[in-house]
Amino acid sequence: MKTFEEITAGVYLISAGRANSYLLVGDDLTLVDTGLPGEEDSVIAGIEKIGRQPNELNHILTTHAHMDHMGSLAALKKVSGAQVIASSKEVDYVVPVEKPK
């Protein structure tokens, strides 16, 4: 993880290099975007750095279906069991993640 910083109360920037994700921390944890494929370890490390566990990730919000925004979606869904939230335009990209073969 190259960057993990609280940018405002309860909002953390996670950057593994070329892509940014945002962790929203309250009673629940919400992740906005997941970064490129293979960047899930940075997200998990960030969650653990604040004393929480990946299975506490309740929601993953994808802003759009570009690889730098949802490349680690499947891996983070698998480790957390979080509900994936996306626009109806992204459903063809999200459904395979939500219902693995």
Domain boundaries, the chain: 3-98
Which CA distances in Å does 95 have to 52, 63, 84, 90?
27, 15, 9, 9
The pTM assigned to this predicted structure is: 0.89
Divide the 101 residues of the chain into consecutive groups of 10 and give the mean pLDDT of each group: 91 90 97 94 95 97 91 94 90 68 50
Taking residue 86's Cβ as centre, other Cβ atoms within 10 Å add up to 21
Pairing label, strands 11-15, 83-85: unpaired
- Cα separation, 72 vs 83, in Å, equals 14
> What pLDDT, on the 0 to 100 scale, is given for residue 88?
86
- Cα separation, 72 vs 34, in Å, equals 5
CATH architecture of structural domain 3-98: 4-Layer Sandwich (3.60)
Taking residue 68's Cβ as centre, other Cβ atoms within 10 Å add up to 18
